[in-house]
Chains A and B, each alone.
Chain A
Amino acid sequence: MQRLRLRLVERPSPSLYLKLLISASSVLLALLLGAVFLVTSGVNPLMAYGKLFLGAFGSRFGLIETVVKATPLMLAGLGVALAFRCSFFNIGAEGQLYMGAFAATWAAYAFSELDAAFLLPFMLLLGFLGGGFWGMIPGVLKVKLRVNEIITTLMMNYIAILWVTHMLVGPWMYEGFPWSPIITEAARLPNLAGSRLHVGIFFALIAAVLIYLMLMKTRLGYEIRVVGANIKAARYAGISIFKTIIPAVIISGGLAGIAGMVQVSAIHYRIMPGLSPGYGYTAVVVALLGKLHPIGVIASSIFFGGLLVGADMMQRAVGIPVALVNIIESLVLLLIVAGEFLIRYRVSFERGG
């Protein structure tokens, strides 16, 4: 009997075109599979997706909201991408975001008499350091004691979130609510065009450019890429693993920390439990969908920002719960990971006896 045999051939160097194609098809396929859930809920998927798309990109309001949501995703996603580039699987962006928000908020209270011109840079710095410190701990644990970073970064999310919760039901509790007092005017990032759009998006875009330059043009970037591609070769070449991974995870956590600072300083004006609806977790998917490339991260964070906004609209229009977004997000993640396989190998079928 004739039967088909699967044949795998490794691709020596997959092209950019192929990577883009696989990323785009992962997204499309995820939407297609998501449609199954829509149909079972008795909703016409075409209409639902139409509402979703229009909600995110079809109006000035939608576009602005998309960018507002994309901002923390982009910052944290860049951080995750950088850590992944040196094979440090940082899935702790959520915790790093909260620690950055915490440190920035503290600065806003402690130096509330300062002018915005001094206070905002200071909050930015502390946001970076808060997240960076939270990223550094698993970094040191990994390099010095070989503790698996996937576990430590994940666990430290809970510590960070609970630490902030502790502050909110304790010292920072305000008017009996678990949220902190409003920060002063000087501690708020300027808005743009009289809307919720704020300068944080420029932080994110500038960060993308800086990360790109750092990775491709500097000594540290070179070291990060060597360590990420082949840690044994890095050791052999005399590259200090410690001096490479530690700066990388500090910057990685720091970017998530800036995302937290931005959420406090430009959106909520206080620190509160729902500060991030899981931006730090979505950032991992953002980084992977963006193929760990800064430009890719910009594009994928806007996609996921749009998804969040559009789903809100869709919920209002056709009554589909926002949880659908989580399903689509998870499907994208699964398909991206599966797509890696197709990028690595050429798959063909052949007839065998």
Chain B
Amino acid sequence: MVANDHVDFDLREGEIHGLLGENGAGKTTLMKILYGLYQPDEGYILLRGKRFTSNSPKEAIRNGIGFVQQHFSLVPSFDAVENVMIGLKSAGLFSQNVEEVRSKIAELSEKYGLKVDSQTKIWQLSVGEQQRVEIIKALCMGTRALILDEPTSVLTPQETVKLFETLRLMVKQGFSIVFITHKLEEVMSVADRITVLRAGKVVFTCNKDETNKAELARMMVGREVIFRPEREELGKGKVILEVKDLHALNDKGLEALRGVSLYVRQGEILGIAGVAGNGQSELAEVITGLRKASGGKVFLKGQDITGCSPRERIDLGLAHIPEDRVNIGLVTSMSVLENLILKNYRSSDFNRGLFIDRQAVEHFCDRLISSFNIMTPARDTPVKLLSGGNQQRLLLAREISASPEVLVAVHPTSGLDVGATEYIQRMLLEQRRRGVAILLISEDLDEIMALSDRIAVMYQGKIVGTVEAKAAQREEVGLMMAGGK
């Protein structure tokens, strides 16, 4: 697939250049080429007017290009100083003067408002802090042009504001910054110039002052976008899903849930907001039976299901859109058909004795493929050949076709383009109208605000507050996400 199609992109000294585009538009690919991780098939790069071939990150770093990727490249068991030292060219962990590096970190941290604790191991730091360590590391390596890939996706609104202040300070010192995002508000608030990528092509470049959000959105998607999904008011139903004082451990054996209580009514969407890693994933897993609760209870339709297997919960009407659709929700090496029956292959409609009734299954699949508009060459196509949006449609089709009473949806639109996002959100609202109780966990605060009836905020394994979505203020929710209330 062509990820970048004859892209022209320029970065000036002392500017923040927002690189805007939907997921899959080719933003990250473009920056990976600059950083020497990928090689272009055609075209070239000029650095300060000179032809520059970037064969490896090493070369890019030597030429002052730094890249903070979405997944950090820090050693979790090292502290900040040690991590910076690995990156330094003179290398050799023993030859470096540790104190020199430490004071350098302190100086940079002071200068640009990058608060870090240089003595704590990386894995004990918050994600925001880790990101600051990444930036400092890049600066220590002599970066002049810094690329940040979706830096705000792991930050609270407050941390985002802080980051933007840091970036402004850096630009004043003559740094250049490429800021990759798909969030319009962010480019509008921090960028000097903006380039929009769509399907691998540059569709638009201009100064921030010459454009507006609506225009950028149109450029990004290629058509007008409705920002707020239609959401009608429904009467209050009875409580279907209830969680009482839930405790659970995470994979490392640390307490991830520390007494979570919540309920979801029929025809209601309860949004769970929170910065990633505050127990949301574990909450979903405990409710769906994939993780054991170490304390507390889960009730479905008034029945205690705390000890039930995933199968029993599915049979009681619990559907689940998991966080990691590729590794948990789907068997990507198997066909569309085999994935559509993943949960109901035992149903009596599909079975004749020990055998699966292929005809009945095909009939069922064709119905879902057409009613959910799943774009697939054939029902026997392996799911890994489908686009992310179609994979999610497939998953949603399967979960909804079981007519669930409770739906746990975790990051249902993450990684999807605007069109697919809109579709998935519409489907969620339709399920709400049908009377399904929906627990929506998302890192996208806008999504939570737009879809939910009530919003509960998770912080360090607890619900720190619940607000009516209608009355909710972004800042208020953001403050709770940071634990500040």
Contacts and interface: CB of A to CB of B under 8 A. Distances in A.
B39 A238 contact: no
B327 A5 contact: no
A237 interface: yes
A225 interface: yes
B327 A218 contact: no
Interface of B: 39, 53, 55, 288, 290, 309-315, 320, 322, 327-334, 338, 342-343, 345-346, 351, 354-356, 358, 382, 384-385
A235 interface: yes
Given A217-B356, A238-B309, 10 more contacts: A5-B39, A13-B382, A219-B345, A219-B354, A230-B332, A232-B327, A233-B342, A236-B310, A236-B322, A238-B311
A194 interface: no
A42 interface: no
Nearest to A234: B331
A219 B346 contact: yes
Interface in A212-263: 217-220, 222, 225-226, 229-230, 232-240
A239 B346 CA distance: 10
B356 A219 contact: yes
Contacts of A175: none
Interface residues of A, number: 24
A12 B377 CA distance: 14
A352 interface: yes
Given A236-B290, A238-B309, A352-B39, A225 B334 contact: yes
Contacts of A13: 382, 384-385
A233 B343 CA distance: 10
A10 B328 CA distance: 21
Interface of A: 5, 12-13, 217-220, 222, 225-226, 229-230, 232-240, 350, 352-353
B39 A350 contact: yes
B443 to A, nearest CB: 21
Nearest to B311: A238
Nearest to A350: B39
Contacts of B356: 217-219, 222
Contacts of B290: 235-236
Nearest to B382: A13
25 contacts: A13-B384, A218-B354, A218-B356, A219-B351, A219-B355, A222-B356, A225-B334, A230-B332, A232-B328, A233-B328, A233-B330, A234-B331, A235-B290, A235-B310, A236-B310, A236-B322, A237-B310, A237-B343, A238-B311, A238-B313, A240-B309, A240-B311, A352-B39, A352-B55, A353-B55
Contact of A12 (B309, B330, B331, B382): B382
A220 B290 CA distance: 22
Contacts of B327: 230, 232-233
A350 B42 CA distance: 13
B360 to A, nearest CB: 13
Contacts of B351: 219
Q: Which of A218, A219, A225 has the most CB of B within 10 A?
A: A219
Contacts of B385: 12-13
B354 A220 contact: yes
Contacts of B338: 222, 225-226
B342 A353 contact: no
Given A219-B356, A229-B333, A236 B328 contact: yes
With most chain B CB atoms within 10 A of its CB, the pick from A13, A237, A350 is A237
Nearest to A232: B328
A353 B343 CA distance: 52
Contacts of A222: 338, 345, 356
Contacts of B382: 12-13
